[in-house]
Structure 1
Amino acid sequence: MNGSAVPVGSIFKIDFRYHPKIVQAVKELPERKFDHNDKTWSVPAKYRDEVERFCKVHKLQFGHKVVQERKFDFVIPPLPELTIQIPLKREPRPYQETGIAYAISRQRTFFGDDMGLGKTFQAIASIEALHQQGKAAYPCLIVCPSAVKENWKKEIEQTIHRKAVVLSDGMKKTYQEFFRTGLAQFYIVNYESMKKFFVELIDDPGIDPKTLKKRKPTLKHYHFNAKAIGFYNSIIFDESHRLKAVSTQAAKIAKGVSANKETIFLLTGTPLINKPSDLIAQLGIMNRLVELGGYKHFMEHYCDGPNGASNLKELNYNLNKVCFFRRNKTDPEVKKYLPDKSRQVILCDLNKESRKEYNHALADLESYMKSYKNADDEKIKQSMKGEVMVRIGILKNISARGKLKDAFEFIQELINAGEKVVVFVNLIEIVKAVQEAFPRSVRLTGAENAVQKQNSVDAFRTNKNVDVIVLNLKAGGVGVNGLQEVSTNICFIEFGWHAAIMDQAEDRLYRMGQHNNVMCTYFLGRDTIDEWNYDLIQKKRHIANTVTGNEDMTEVSIVDSFADLFTK
């Protein structure tokens, strides 16, 4: 039986597992009402005959309550244990071992773990595990956002004894030789570049005669490079929720590239079961939709209720049974293995305009540094230090402007995952750029008075429509409390010279009241002073009493270190 209609006083209580056809039918019963508290329908007892006919047509128990189906709570079984040895450079945590075991048993699956639990590590280890089992795993293609391409390369080389290469335009004809000569087993490309590597031609779909508008190309209009696609034995799609819209070019290309692949991993920290229709394209890429009843059943059974969602517990159960696993930072078996605070670096490519401006400013500084190093008089040299610091600051400012695209892309991924984000900057123009990119944001800088600052903090804490709070290091680095109640992600687009200054800023989230792992992300302009600046901060983190409070000493230390850098 699908449910029941039970007489309760002067009404019939109608209770059933959601199905769109039954919902439509119950809405046609006279004087029916829906009780939002217990999710049941009621019809006055005087319509007994109509209710009985309704139950007979839709196979509901009439007069007696059916309880067995309502008691079924879709208990998700535990993940399997890892039973093979994998040659890894670092030990996986116990929960990561079970994730790897699940992935290699399914091969086409989602890695749905919460952010910061090591989806990247688990995916890399799973590819190596499949190879150790004698399955075709290499070469492996990784498709990811542009901002994290270098992070994937670094993570691979720190996890296993394999090599990775980031695909570039100049490698289109030669990249396969990297695998044949043992120079690379992983190939990394961003979503926007998939077309140039895998699509030879897209047919013109023509004009729709009904609307007289140009049709969008469908998958059949794409002509793929079979040799390029056939080169890869496995594929990893990072931040796969980017593929949730079937109509996008990225989703179509991903579908074409994935055809007939035995190993396809989709990584996303975004909860997948809140909007089931987002899963359709991704399940199609893995060729898993048929195991969940096919497109029509999936739409009717899981996507046709209020807010486009229905039978979510059943969907979650079936997903976990077929091709999905997720652990949260708050899970007891996970939380005890997490560090209190983690740091990661995202290398960002400067835009062309900023790179040109940066190179010009760098050449100007190099010229000035020659004069500085050749100065014999200590008084003259001392007076020049201030000018060096100004010119170094110009380089930092140019880098900050040039890396915004990659930084904003990463921050948006956090927001898409339902996270609130704390962003630190220095320049007021970067504050404005952040707020323009993220309209659902508040600010806390030196321009606001005490009341305005507190209002920003309160809005970030209590208003679910506020995703980002942007602070500058001077105004927001100390004396701000409450952010840790709602956020675990802190991002630095700009940063200072001292480890202690940065630690104080990190401590806006890493403080009493924080019950989860805090992730601190530093955005560095590739091949810029940012990389040197970050290394300087890291070195000083190992030195006690970093801050002396003496600005002159700080200036001397930085300029002399920078002079040594130019000498090298």
Structure 2
Amino acid sequence: MTKAHPLTRARRSQTLISQRDAATEQAAVHGDSLRRGWWSRGPLVPSLLGLDGSGLRSHHASGRDTMLHVSLNQAGSRFLVHGGDPKGRDKINRIISSWPGWARVAVAGRSGVSTYAGPRSIPSALALSSTQLELEWEDSARAGASVLLKSFERARQVLEGPLSEAIAQVRSWPHERKPFRHQICAVAAILQLEGRVLLADDMGLGKTSTALWASHALSSDRTLILCPASVKFNWEAEITATLGKRAVVVIDGSKKERINQFGEMRKRFEKAKHLFVIINYDLLKHLSHEQLSMLGRFVRGRMVIMDESHYLKNHESERSQIVKRSFCPSEGGAQWRLGLTGTPIRNTVEDLYHQHELVRPGTYHSFNWFLNRFTEQSIMKVPYRKGGKTLYKTLKKVRRAKNEKELNQIVNTIQIRRLKKDVLDLPEAITTYPQLELDPHTAKVYAAMRDYALLLLEEQDDSASILSPVCRTAVEAAARCEQIAQGCVGGVPEELMPRLSATLTNHAAKVEGKPGWLVFPSASKLVHLQEGLDSVKLQDGQSVTFCRFIAPLLWLEAKRLGVAVTGSMGLKRRQEVFDAFQAGDIRELYISVRIAEGFNLYAAQDEFFLGRDWAWAINSQAVARCHRMRQTGTVNVQMPFVRGTIEVRQHSVLLQKEKDADNTLCFQTIADLKEALS
């Protein structure tokens, strides 16, 4: 079955484009032909990207699959198609036969060049010496392509031009949060590209808010947000902070709870003016066919946001197939599609393929075409046993990229990416508060410690200060709850060992240099932190991690290639470490938040808080180690907290008290602590 090229579908909003730019109205009329399915399989986007002003550029491909590539001559509006296989004429003809947009075909054969009225008129018995065809556009096809190229150019202009031009593209802004310049420009560019963009800005540049503003600017009354489980509730908070009060349904919990949530979504489907539905990727495979169909109907003709889109880089994975089939098919599905990621390439350039295809299907001819065109591969033989025999299967492993200039031309029409160093006018550090959930093993330990702490606190006077000596044992038990939320624990009471012995044996690790301390490698905070550190590392950046407790810092030092800086380190050695970090010889530092003052770390632009201090001023000092004079980029500060733990209380205290929070600890009572643990 012949599929229409995706860029034909990208013109569904052609009327909107013509309203924005009356000068292209006639071209838009011709562009309607694109929507009727002119384009079949074939890399039209690479065609449009081959424009370098130097006339006709032809791309040769070799191999038995007869890979095809086309490029546009600006002056003559002609394409050349080359097939590397002399016997590949039938393959070429099958592909171009469904392109009625060609008015004339010139074929170079053994007897010279022959001209035909169209692809279908090429004699089937024609023998080709080079399988070279020169194809000329019909006027309407040429006009439609011109509209596409103009939209790319307008997007580039609003990203690079005066701020006033970008502001003029957006009708209104919600007043809840003030956008930065780069966010205004990104929203305007997304409008020009008709809402089909991979927003790959550097971490900490506010992609979440930008995507929500784009949803508002595109007037999408229904928006589906797909994201990792760790940021699901953070999206809920960001919607309110960015757009104000909106109807939000978060799909989460047990099967029964999800049934109720879908029922709520069904009720709000028609009533709410702006409805957001949030679901994590891994939950999709647990939905029933009816529930997936309901989400598909919900997003049809509306907007889907794919946060951390690198989760979908494997086009063969179950989650990728569900997203493509249900929300981002080649025909139908979501009209506006935004992918968000700070690291679009996690390993090699092949990671780009499916992220681009979800946003704009048909950007590339096929996955194999992409690999052959843009990567160098090596062949690996992997042994496996079958029926008592050792057999081998052949795998292709991508070694490196090739044809980078050409690939970048394609990427620039679908992807927006600005680095922190390019956004120099941000006045302050960008702080985010990801909301995480306890993993099952750590949750079991936390629940036991919480119950134990509450039992001890019940024996104390509610009005007593938590600093009172008589409350020490109970307060220490409560403090261990905070440790567990951050992925460690400084000892477990004997009373709890029968209940927790198996869990601690199988899921906790000892820490060298901290006798009696344990670390939980599967803890959500440690997993989230290491993912962030890996993302910075992939971008060749440097990072600083702060924590109240020493054990996780020492564990990170032993596991990774960074250096832990604690109060026990001598001042001279400490300064040597900081100097080496500034020089780029050390890429990661893990620092006790209590000693975070009196030194400069402006070489880093990413700060992570595994655990915050209860005093706002101490945390502020830590942030200022990187966010200070001579810092050349925006500082991204992540301060995650774990839902359902004592960290929720800590988070609210720090937000409410701000600079006065350094005194709040002295005034907390036993009653306050019991409330925080409950």
Fold match by TM threshold 0.5: yes
Residue of structure 2 aligned with 1:144, choices 227, 248, 260 = 227
Q: Tell me the amino acid that sits aligned with residue 255 of structure 1.
A: K
Q: Quick one: percent identity of the two aligned structures?
A: 24
Q: Which residue of 2 aligns with 1:477?
A: 596
The more displaced of 114-123 and 424-433 is 424-433
Q: Which residue of 2 aligns with 1:263?
A: 336
Superimposed CA distance per residue, residues 188-219 of structure 1 (whole angstroms, 9 cap, x where no aligned partner): 2222222112679xxxxxxxxxxxxxxxxxxx
Q: Which residue of 2 aligns with 1:427?
A: 549
From the superposition, tell whether residues 566 and 444 of structure 1 become closer, same or farther in structure 2 (CA, over 3 Å): closer
Question: Structure 2: how far apart are the matches of 1:254 and 1:534?
Answer: 34
Q: Tell me the amino acid that sits aligned with residue 139 of structure 1.
A: R
Q: Structure 1 residue 327: deviation in Å?
A: 2.5
Question: Structure 1: how far apart are the matches of 2:203 and 2:259?
Answer: 36
Q: Structure 1 residue 114: deviation in Å?
A: 2.1
Q: Structure 1 residue 469: deviation in Å?
A: 1.8
Q: Size of the alignment, in residue pairs?
A: 459
Q: Which residue of 2 aligns with 1:155?
A: 238
Contact preservation (8 Å) 2:430, 2:635: yes
Question: Structure 1: how far apart are the matches of 2:313 and 2:186?
Answer: 23
Question: Structure 1: how far apart are the matches of 2:281 and 2:472?
Answer: 44
Question: Structure 2: how far apart are the matches of 1:325 and 1:228?
Answer: 27
Question: Structure 2: how far apart are the matches of 1:83 and 1:494?
Answer: 42
Q: Tell me the amino acid that sits aligned with residue 424 of structure 2.
A: K
Q: Which residue of 1 aligns with 2:298?
A: 231
Contact preservation (8 Å) 2:562, 2:590: yes
Question: Structure 2: how far apart are the matches of 1:388 and 1:78?
Answer: 62
Q: Which residue of 2 aligns with 1:39?
A: none
The more displaced of 142-151 and 274-283 is 274-283
Question: Structure 1: how far apart are the matches of 2:481 and 2:651?
Answer: 14
Superimposed CA distance per residue, residues 226-275 of structure 1 (whole angstroms, 9 cap, x where no aligned partner): 44433323321111122223343333333223213222211112265995
From the superposition, tell whether residues 428 and 171 of structure 1 become closer, same or farther in structure 2 (CA, over 3 Å): same
Q: Tell me the amino acid that sits aligned with residue 588 of structure 2.
A: V
Residue 392 (1) aligns with residue 513 (2): no
From the superposition, tell whether residues 288 and 469 of structure 1 become closer, same or farther in structure 2 (CA, over 3 Å): same
Question: Structure 2: how far apart are the matches of 1:488 and 1:375?
Answer: 43
Contact preservation (8 Å) 1:157, 1:163: no
Q: Structure 1 residue 425: deviation in Å?
A: 1.8
From the superposition, tell whether residues 302 and 158 of structure 1 become closer, same or farther in structure 2 (CA, over 3 Å): same
Superimposed CA distance per residue, residues 471-526 of structure 1 (whole angstroms, 9 cap, x where no aligned partner): 2224x413443x321x1111111222212221222222123321222222112121
Superimposed CA distance per residue, residues 439-483 of structure 1 (whole angstroms, 9 cap, x where no aligned partner): 23322224544565456445544557x653212224x413443x3
The more displaced of 185-194 and 363-372 is 363-372
Residue 244 (1) aligns with residue 309 (2): no
Q: Which residue of 2 aligns with 1:36?
A: none
Q: Which residue of 1 aligns with 2:323?
A: 254
Q: Structure 1 residue 278: deviation in Å?
A: 1.9
From the superposition, tell whether residues 375 and 312 of structure 1 become closer, same or farther in structure 2 (CA, over 3 Å): closer
Residue of structure 2 aligned with 1:282, choices 331, 347, 355 = 355
Question: Structure 1: how far apart are the matches of 2:346 and 2:545?
Answer: 29
Q: Structure 1 residue 123: deviation in Å?
A: 1.3
Q: Which residue of 2 aligns with 1:209?
A: none
* Superposition CA RMSD, Å: 3.9
Residue 520 (1) aligns with residue 669 (2): no
The more displaced of 493-502 and 76-85 is 76-85
Superposition map of 1:190-339 within 5 A: 190-197=280-287, 225-233=292-300, 234-257=303-326, 258-259=328-329, 260-261=332-333, 262-270=335-343, 275-290=348-363, 295=367, 298-304=370-376, 308-321=400-413, 323-331=414-422, 334-336=423-425, 338-339=426-427
Superposition map of 1:358-369 within 5 A: 358-369=446-457
Q: Give the structure-2-normalised TM-score.
A: 0.59
Contact preservation (8 Å) 1:344, 1:521: yes
Question: Structure 2: how far apart are the matches of 1:295 and 1:355?
Answer: 41
Q: Which residue of 2 aligns with 1:62?
A: none
Q: Tell me the amino acid that sits aligned with residue 99 of structure 1.
A: A
Q: Structure 1 residue 294: deviation in Å?
A: 5.3
From the superposition, tell whether residues 567 and 389 of structure 1 become closer, same or farther in structure 2 (CA, over 3 Å): closer
Question: Structure 2: how far apart are the matches of 1:442 and 1:21?
Answer: 50
Q: Which residue of 1 aligns with 2:248?
A: 164
From the superposition, tell whether residues 117 and 554 of structure 1 become closer, same or farther in structure 2 (CA, over 3 Å): closer
Question: Structure 2: how far apart are the matches of 1:566 and 1:440?
Answer: 36
Q: Tell me the amino acid that sits aligned with residue 357 of structure 2.
A: G
From the superposition, tell whether residues 422 and 18 of structure 1 become closer, same or farther in structure 2 (CA, over 3 Å): farther
The more displaced of 298-307 and 171-180 is 298-307
Q: Which residue of 2 aligns with 1:205?
A: none
From the superposition, tell whether residues 251 and 463 of structure 1 become closer, same or farther in structure 2 (CA, over 3 Å): farther
From the superposition, tell whether residues 115 and 385 of structure 1 become closer, same or farther in structure 2 (CA, over 3 Å): same
For the residue of structure 1 that corresponds to 2:343, the secondary structure is coil
Superposition map of 1:342-491 within 5 A: 342-373=430-461, 382-401=468-487, 402-404=523-525, 405-435=527-557, 439-450=560-571, 453-454=574-575, 456-457=577-578, 460-462=581-583, 467-474=587-594, 476-481=595-600, 483-485=601-603, 487-491=604-608
Contact preservation (8 Å) 1:236, 1:267: yes
Q: Tell me the amino acid that sits aligned with residue 93 of structure 1.
A: F
For the residue of structure 2 that corresponds to 1:372, the secondary structure is coil
Q: Which residue of 1 aligns with 2:654?
A: 537
Q: Which residue of 1 aligns with 2:505?
A: none
Unaligned runs of at least 5 residues, structure 2: 1-49, 51-56, 64-129, 133-151, 159-164, 378-397, 488-522
Contact preservation (8 Å) 1:271, 1:417: no
Question: Structure 2: how far apart are the matches of 1:452 and 1:245?
Answer: 45
Residue of structure 1 aligned with 2:276, choices 160, 163, 186 = 186
Of the two structures, which has the highest relative contact order with CA contacts closer than 8 Å and spacing of 6 or more? 1
Superimposed CA distance per residue, residues 20-78 of structure 1 (whole angstroms, 9 cap, x where no aligned partner): 769xxxxxxxxxxxxxxxxxxxxxxxxxxxxxxxxxx9x9xxxxxxxxxxxxxx99831
Question: Structure 1: how far apart are the matches of 2:214 and 2:441?
Answer: 40
Question: Structure 2: how far apart are the matches of 1:455 and 1:289?
Answer: 53
Contact preservation (8 Å) 2:453, 2:475: no
Q: Structure 1 residue 303: deviation in Å?
A: 3.0
For the residue of structure 2 that corresponds to 1:520, the secondary structure is strand
Contact preservation (8 Å) 2:562, 2:588: yes
Contact preservation (8 Å) 2:462, 2:669: no
Unaligned runs of at least 5 residues, structure 1: 3-15, 23-56, 60-73, 132-136, 201-223, 548-552
Question: Structure 1: how far apart are the matches of 2:535 and 2:322?
Answer: 21
Q: Which residue of 1 aligns with 2:212?
A: 124
Contact preservation (8 Å) 1:524, 1:531: yes
Contact preservation (8 Å) 1:484, 1:514: yes
For the residue of structure 1 that corresponds to 2:476, the secondary structure is helix
For the residue of structure 2 that corresponds to 1:78, the secondary structure is helix
Q: Structure 1 residue 155: deviation in Å?
A: 0.9
Q: Structure 1 residue 167: deviation in Å?
A: 0.9
Contact preservation (8 Å) 1:272, 1:278: yes
Q: Structure 1 residue 420: deviation in Å?
A: 2.5
Q: Structure 1 residue 84: deviation in Å?
A: 4.3
Contact preservation (8 Å) 1:138, 1:232: no
Contact preservation (8 Å) 2:463, 2:670: no
